[in-house]
Amino acid sequence: MMLYKLNEILFNKQISSRYWHMEVFVGQDVDNVLPGQFFNLLCSNENTFPFLRRPLSVYKINYDKKTIEFLYLVKGDGTKRLTKFKNGDCMDLVGPLGVPFKLNNGARHILLVARGVGIATLTALAQYAVEKGIQCHAILSARTKDDLLAVRLLTSLGVHLHIVTDEEGTSELTHVKEIMQKIHYKFSIQGIYVCGSKRLSKLAKSFVIEQKLEGQIALEEHMACGMGVCFACVCNILNDENIESVRVCKEGPVFDLRKVVL
Ligand code: FES
């Protein structure tokens, strides 16, 4: 894990009304980064406010350029501060943190299900899976077309995309389930990976249980320290019929979808 390292920001730009995209040079440390992990970014170099870091999932890992990329939603003081960073500024970040996604040996087709910025961490997984020869299918859900993220990158990776939006009235669960069924019946997917929506996660959970598939979820509980100390990010896991409280930042953020209490 890298600790409190200052890394150069290559770009930090707004890509839609609510979302920003940042690329940071991390050098050889990039070799330790896996999809599903996150970094804790200090939101300002100027003073200590807000002193807490913001956890951002890795969106793209560029092992050749030794950089990582993040997508982030601007919704509070911390992320507003992040937008102030300019190209060439230094970013103080800690990571990679957390448990990454696992891909089963022998998987040929997997399905990614994401809403909003939840697609960031699943895009890193898609990149990783495609490099292993796994065909990815993805259902992307968003409020509006303007909120859709990563479409161009996923398309360039050869991911089969199914887009649903609230504004078009296509994001209802019954419709999403129909899409899941069609993809599964046609390609016999081996696993579902989900992030960004409790409703979609519940749907995906019932689908993997019903169809006896692998399933993983990247949780986005509110984090504070991001390092397992404060217990601000606890969620419940069902283990052998016992409910166990675990820290999303330490034992996660990726969990077995069938075990997470949603
Ligand atoms: Fe502090 Fe997880 S954020 S323990």
Decide: 17 and 145 in contact? Cβ < 8 Å: no
User: Which residues, judged by CB distance below 6 Å to any ligand atom, belong to the binding site of ligand 1?
Assistant: 223-226, 228-233, 247, 249
- As a whole number of angstroms, the distance between CA 29 and CA 138 comes to 29
- As a whole number of angstroms, the distance between CA 10 and CA 23 comes to 5
- Compute the mean pLDDT over every residue in the chain, rounded to the nearest whole number: 91
- As a whole number of angstroms, the distance between CA 201 and CA 206 comes to 9
Q: Report the 10 Å Cβ neighbour count for 20.
A: 18
- Please determine, for residue 50, whether its predicted confidence score (pLDDT) is greater than 60: no
- Please determine, for residue 4, whether its predicted confidence score (pLDDT) is greater than 70: no
- Please determine, for residue 226, whether its predicted confidence score (pLDDT) is greater than 90: no
- Please determine, for residue 5, whether its predicted confidence score (pLDDT) is greater than 80: no
Measured in Å, residue 70 CA sits from the centre of ligand 1 at: 20
Measured in Å, residue 3 CA sits from the centre of ligand 1 at: 16
Atom of ligand 1 nearest to the CA of 226: 3
Q: What is the predicted pLDDT for the residue at 240?
A: 83
137-162 per-position pLDDT tens digit: 999 999 998 889 899 999 999 999 99
- SS (HEC) of 10-76: EEEEECCCCEEEEEEECHHHHHHCCCCCEEEEECCCCCCCCCCEEEEECCEEECCCCEEEEEEECCC
Q: What is the predicted pLDDT for the residue at 14?
A: 95
In CATH, which superfamily holds the domain spanning 220-262? Dihydroorotate dehydrogenase, electron transfer subunit (2.10.240.10)
- Please determine, for residue 7, whether its predicted confidence score (pLDDT) is greater than 90: no
Enumerate the known binding-site residues for FAD.
Answer: 54-57, 78-79
Measured in Å, residue 52 CA sits from the centre of ligand 1 at: 11
The ranges assigned to domains in the chain are 3-97, 109-218, 220-262
Q: What is the predicted pLDDT for the residue at 3?
A: 57
Q: What is the predicted pLDDT for the residue at 251?
A: 94
Share of the chain above pLDDT 90, in %: 74
Measured in Å, residue 246 CA sits from the centre of ligand 1 at: 10
* CATH 2.40.30.10 given to domain 3-97: yes
Decide: 37 and 96 in contact? Cβ < 8 Å: yes
- As a whole number of angstroms, the distance between CA 23 and CA 39 comes to 13
Q: What is the predicted pLDDT for the residue at 78?
A: 85
Atom of ligand 1 nearest to the CA of 248: 2
* CATH 1.20.140.10 given to domain 109-218: no
